[in-house]
Amino acid sequence: MSLNAESTAFRSALEVIRAVEPRVADAIGAELADQRESLKLIASENYASPATLLAMGNWFSDKYAEGTIGRRFYAGCQNVDTVEALAAEHAKELFGAAHAYVQPHSGIDANLVAFWAILADRVESPALRKAQVRQVNDLTEADWFALRRELGDQRMLGMSLDAGGHLTHGFRPNISGKMFDQRSYGTDPATGLIDYDRVAEAAREFRPLILVAGYSAYPRKVNFRIMREIADSVGATFMVDMAHFAGLVAGKVFTGDFDPVPHAHIVTTTTHKSLRGPRGGMVLCGPELADQVDRGCPMVLGGPLPHVMAAKAVALAEARRPDFAGYAQRIVDNAQALADGLLRRGATLVTGGTDNHLVLIDVSGYGLTGRQAEQALLDSGIVTNRNAVPQDPNGAWYTSGIRIGTPALTTRGLGTAEMDATAELIHTVLDRTTPGTGPDGAGSKAKYVLDPAVAEQVGKQAADLLTPFPLYPAVDLG
C-alpha cells in the first residue's frame, strides 16, 4: 500500500535527520506522540496544518533578507519577496487591513515593532527626527541625551496583568515596562468585566501616548469602538494586541465593534495561537504608520525568517478558506460548552462564563491554588496552565486560577459533547484534590493530595475522549 503525501514527507524528513543526529529525530517523533495523547487545553496553543509545518523546513531558512519587499539589503531575495508579499496579501485580505508587516518573529517582537513605530511617529523630538532621516552621524551627545529622555517619558495605558493583560503591555519583566511610564486598567470587581468608564477616567488622568487593548486571559469580548473613542478623547494612539483571538477575528466571530482592525491605529498578533499558523508575529496598520512599521528590521528585529513567512502565507491562505469561519465558531461554541459544564458542576468562573476561546476557573472555590490545580490536572492527563485571577491573593507565581482554551481541541475535532465530558473530568480532579502541608505542617501553596486511582481513572477517560479524534490523522510515522 502506498503512503499518503504527508506520511511520506514526514517519514522521509525524519530519516534524513536520523542519519545525522538520531536523538533529534526521536525527540520529534516523541513530541508528536505526546501531543497525540494529551488533552491539550492550553489557550495559547494549537496544531498547525502539515502544509504549514512543511513550509518551514527548507532552503528559505538559509536566506538573509533584511529590508522590505523589493528594497533589500541583500542580493537574490526575489523568492523571499514572493512569499513575504503573499503572506502580507493574505493578511490584508483576511483582516481588511491597509498594510501588513509579516516579519516579526514572535508576538513580543510584533509589539516592539509597533511601540517603536508609534514612538517614531508621535514623539516630538528634534533628535529623533534627525535619527529618522538617517542623519544619525549628525547627532550630538546632547541630541542623544535628549532623545533618550524624550522617549523615556512616554506613557502607556494597558490592561493590568491580573485582569488578563500581557507582560509586553508595559510590565516590568518585559522591556516595555522599562521603556514606558505605565499605568493599567483593571476590571470591575463585581462583574469581572472591563469598565469602559473607568478606562476613560484613567485615560483622562494619565494622558497616555498609547492605549493598549488585548489580553491573554480575559474571557470576554472587548468593545474596540469604545476603546478607540477613549483613545481619541485624549489623543492617544490606539493599539490592539490580538495575539490570542486573531483566529476569532479571521473567522469573523468577532465583527463590528469587536473587530479590532477597523478601530485600532495599529494591531499586533501572533500567528500560532487561535490563528493556527507557524510560531511568529505580525503587525497590521493603516497607511499612516506603514513606513515606520516596515523599519521593524533592523530597528528591533533580526533578519526576517523567510521560511516562517512562507509558512505564514500557507496558514493565512488556509484561514481565508470558508471552513475557517466554521472552525472559529466551533472554538467559541466549545469554550461556552466547557464553561456551562463547569458552572453546572459548581465551579466558579471569572466573569461567570466566556464569549471567546478561553475560560478562567477561580480554583479557590475548590480550596486550591492555581499551582496545585495545574499539577493535579496534569497528573490526570489534562494539560492546562495556572493563571492569576483579578486581585489574586496568591500572586503571579502560585495564582488562584486555571486558564483553559479550546483552539487546539477544536482543531482535533472535539465538539460540545466532548467539552461537557471534559468539564466533568476537570471538576472531578479539582473536587478530589486537597491542599497538602509543608515540612512545618502548615498549609502549602504547592503541595497537594490526589488519590492516584482518581488521577489514573481520569487519565484513562481523557485518553478515551481523544480516541475518536486522532491528531494529524493523515500522518503515519510508522
Ligand X SMILES: *Cc1c(COP(=O)(O)O)cnc(C)c1O
Interacting residue ranges for ligand X, rule: CB under 6 A:
44, 106-108, 166, 168, 214-216, 241, 243-244, 270, 281
How many H helices and E strands in the chain? Answer: 20, 16
Tell which residue, 110, 114, 112, has the closest CA to residue 102: 110
> Is-contact 248 356, C-beta < 8 A?
yes
Chain-centre distance of CA 132, in angstroms?
Answer: 31
Show contacts of 455-458: CB within 8 Å, 24+ apart: 455/376, 455/379, 455/380, 455/381, 455/429, 456/380, 458/380, 458/381, 458/382, 458/425, 458/428, 458/429
Does 64 qualify as catalytic in the annotation? yes
Task: Give residues with Cβ within 8 angstroms of 455, minimum separation 6.
Answer: 376, 379, 380, 381, 429
Cell of 406: 479550546
Q: What count of other Cβ atoms lies within 10 Å of the Cβ of residue 144?
A: 13
Does 241 qualify as catalytic in the annotation? yes
Tell which residue, 265, 250, 134, 158, has the closest CA to residue 206: 158
What is the C-alpha to C-alpha distance for residues 5 and 452, in angstroms, rounded to an integer?
42
Closest CB 44 distance from ligand X, rounded Å:
5
What is the C-alpha to C-alpha distance for residues 32 and 468, in angstroms, rounded to an integer?
17
Query: 314 vs 179, 276, 284, CA distance in Å?
Result: 35, 11, 18
Query: 109 vs 100, 269, 279, 342, CA distance in Å?
Result: 14, 10, 12, 36
Does 130 qualify as catalytic in the annotation? no
In terms of CB distance, is 38 or 106 closer to ligand X?
Answer: 106
In terms of CB distance, is 281 or 459 closer to ligand X?
Answer: 281
Tell which residue, 311, 247, 243, has the closest CA to residue 274: 247
In terms of CB distance, is 260 or 341 closer to ligand X?
Answer: 260
Closest CB 302 distance from ligand X, rounded Å:
14
Closest CB 113 distance from ligand X, rounded Å:
12
> Is-contact 357 404, C-beta < 8 A?
no
What residue number has its CB nearest to ligand X? 107
In terms of CB distance, is 241 or 318 closer to ligand X?
Answer: 241
In terms of CB distance, is 278 or 341 closer to ligand X?
Answer: 278
- Please tell me which residue in 18, 36, 37, 66 is annotated as part of the active site: 66
Closest CB 168 distance from ligand X, rounded Å:
5
> Is-contact 56 13, C-beta < 8 A?
no
Does 185 qualify as catalytic in the annotation? no
Does 207 qualify as catalytic in the annotation? no
- Please tell me which residue in 11, 64, 92, 150 is annotated as part of the active site: 64
In terms of CB distance, is 208 or 459 closer to ligand X?
Answer: 208
What is the C-alpha to C-alpha distance for residues 434 and 448, in angstroms, rounded to an integer?
6
Closest CB 175 distance from ligand X, rounded Å:
12
Does 273 qualify as catalytic in the annotation? yes
What is the C-alpha to C-alpha distance for residues 357 and 373, in angstroms, rounded to an integer?
20
- Please tell me which residue in 40, 273, 371, 403 is annotated as part of the active site: 273
In terms of CB distance, is 6 or 241 closer to ligand X?
Answer: 241
In terms of CB distance, is 162 or 241 closer to ligand X?
Answer: 241
Q: Which residue is it, cell 509597533?
A: 114
In terms of CB distance, is 241 or 259 closer to ligand X?
Answer: 241
Closest CB 164 distance from ligand X, rounded Å:
9
Closest CB 450 distance from ligand X, rounded Å:
30
194 strand-pairing partners = 187
The DSSP code for 236 is P
* Size of the chain, expressed as the number of residues it contains: 478
Cell of 31: 513530541
- Please tell me which residue in 18, 279, 320, 345 is annotated as part of the active site: 279
Closest CB 243 distance from ligand X, rounded Å:
3
Closest CB 269 distance from ligand X, rounded Å:
8
- Please tell me which residue in 68, 269, 270, 271 is annotated as part of the active site: 270
List active site positions: 64, 66, 241, 270, 273, 279
